[in-house]
Structure 1
Amino acid sequence: MLKVKVNLKSNWNRKTNDLWSLGILLLGVMIILLPLIVVLLTSFAPPGAIPGILPDRWTLANYQEAWYRGQFLLAFVNSTLVAIAVTALQIFTSALAGYALARLKFRGRQAVLLLILATLVIPFQLLIIPIFLILKWGHLINTYWALILPSAANGLGIFLLCQYFQTIPVELEEAAAIDGANRLQIIWEVMLPLARPALVTLFLFTFIGEWNDLFKPLVFTTRPELRTVQLALAEFQEQFTNNWPLMMAAITISTIPVLVLFLIGQKQFIQGIATTGVKN
């Protein structure tokens, strides 16, 4: 009888803890989603509406007007081009450097890894003057390369793939080497397919970061034809400061691509983050 009472009490405590956890999670979700809901509701409201109030009349005119007045088509093309180029370069450099740090045994390997990790604490703004001078010396200011090359390699991507490669059994590489594969073939045909979750994670981190970047386009470019989405959004907000529905529509337009991209790759993203913390 006493054992039954103890079990009932234990079950009750467990259910109570689960309810508290669920309540805290729901509260956190509401806090995170509330600004997004306000932006979305206001973007469908007619001109002059108060932000956050449910509109009495729904309209898509704000999106059409924001799209053409902000010239977002050119900005979307530029941001997509820059984000894809930077992402491809970071995956390439991170895969080679991460594999070397994970598999090759050489003196000073840990020191190199620590040095790479140390770069993560250095703000990009601190390096802006030497980067600007290098780009100016190479006549790259006001070109796409000024937006791509400064982010071609990243310490986070190298560390991410290094950690993931260490979770892959060495026996798979040895089997590929016995079959006649060289080092590059092993990386391309064995390691990279197995590191898909980490690659997707790096892709999402890099693409979203470049899509949301305002600093580089603001400093390295002045030509209107090189405007990115965030630069176009900043200029748009300066012009329509008092038109809340129009501004919220522009913000929604600039957010949709990265939101869709994250929803598509969220499963691989979670798996990649979870696995890179495990080391064999």
Structure 2
Amino acid sequence: MTVASQRLNFKKILLFVLLLFGAIVVLLPLAIVFFYSLIPPATFATANFTSSSLTLENYRQAWERGNFILAFANSTLVALAVTAFQIVTSSLAGYALARLQFQGKQAILLLVLATLVIPFQLLVIPIFLVLKLGHLINTYWALILPTAANGFGIFLMRQFFSTIPIELEEAAALDGANRLQILWKVMLPLARPALTTLFLFTFIGEWNDLFKPLIFTTRPELQTVQLALAEFQEQFTSSWSLLMAAIIIATVPVIVLFLLGQRQFIQGIGSTGIKN
């Protein structure tokens, strides 16, 4: 074995050890939460538990007491609606910024990028006033419309569309396709990794959002998962087992969704680098 191959093997082993350590650091807190969610509340207080005492009863109680059925339905509806709006708006705006030539294009792109550094909390008062003027407070639209378009999604789609060879569009145009047909039949099928990335970012962000439901809604029937989890924490502060179970219940859909789309997600991130 040569010196070069030995160095290469050492680098691979070192990289593996570092990645393994990083995975342990990230997953260990979740593993601890899951383990303690299986411990009966009475046993948890005395710290006298064994593997035979672990139970799933905490999940049933947390699900029923936290009214997570309604919260899951609301969060799913809001997250899917916002994701659909962002996919449409980001695809249209991203394609225009990537392919169309018009005056002020660079200024608009800079404006889109500028929105990425503005916290949503700074805009909450004008957004609240607009929603109130439209009689949308305490409705699903108050949770959907404020984030129906997003600068990150527009920039992400613009970057991905810029990597697609323009010859494909020229060939479609020669066959008589217009701009919308080219976008729908040529560009979007090729942009599946970017669309998956945008879907995951948007859905997970909306699922984990507590700020909008807390500010724009007061009706219990509009309660989302994060709002239900916050109220559950206030009610069961002393019952750590139930609280851990509720956290796992609120987290599992996001983990499953990411695992299903991780391959497309990684491909989408890797193919949307900086491109002029």
Partners of 1:67 and 1:190 in 2: CA distance: 44
Distance 1:53 1:198, change over 3 A: farther
Deviation at 1:237, TM superposition (A): 0.4
CA RMSD of the aligned region, Å?
A: 1.7
Deviation at 1:20, TM superposition (A): 2.0
Counterpart AA for 1:30: I
Say whether the 8 Å CA contact 1:142–1:223 is kept in structure 2.
yes
Partners of 1:51 and 1:101 in 2: CA distance: 62
Query: Please, what TM-score do these two structures have when normalized by structure 1?
Result: 0.94
Check if 1:27 corresponds to 2:47: no
Identity of aligned residues (%): 69
After alignment, is 84-93 or 41-50 more displaced?
41-50
Task: Specify the SS of the correspondent of 1:107.
Answer: coil
Within a 5 Å distance, the mapping from 1:52-91 to structure 2 comes to 55-56=50-51, 57-91=53-87
Partners of 1:123 and 1:185 in 2: CA distance: 36
Check if 1:177 corresponds to 2:134: no
Partners of 1:55 and 1:86 in 2: CA distance: 45
Check if 1:274 corresponds to 2:274: no
Q: Of 140, 145, 148, which aligns to 2:141?
A: 145
Partners of 1:220 and 1:60 in 2: CA distance: 35
Deviation at 1:53, TM superposition (A): 9.4
2:35 is matched with 41
Q: Of 18, 29, 38, which aligns to 2:12?
A: 18
Structure 1 portions without partners, runs of 5+: 1-6
Check if 1:253 corresponds to 2:258: no
Q: What are the superposed Cα offsets for residues 13-71 of structure 1, whole Å, 9 maximum, x if unpaired?
A: 33222222222111111111110001110111111416999754111110000000000
Counterpart AA for 1:266: Q
Say whether the 8 Å CA contact 1:43–1:247 is kept in structure 2.
yes
Partners of 1:50 and 1:36 in 2: CA distance: 20
Within a 5 Å distance, the mapping from 1:129-278 to structure 2 comes to 129-277=125-273
After alignment, is 16-25 or 203-212 more displaced?
16-25
Number of residue pairs aligned between Structure 1 and Structure 2 = 274
Counterpart AA for 1:113: L
Partners of 1:52 and 1:27 in 2: CA distance: 28
Structure 2 portions without partners, runs of 5+: none
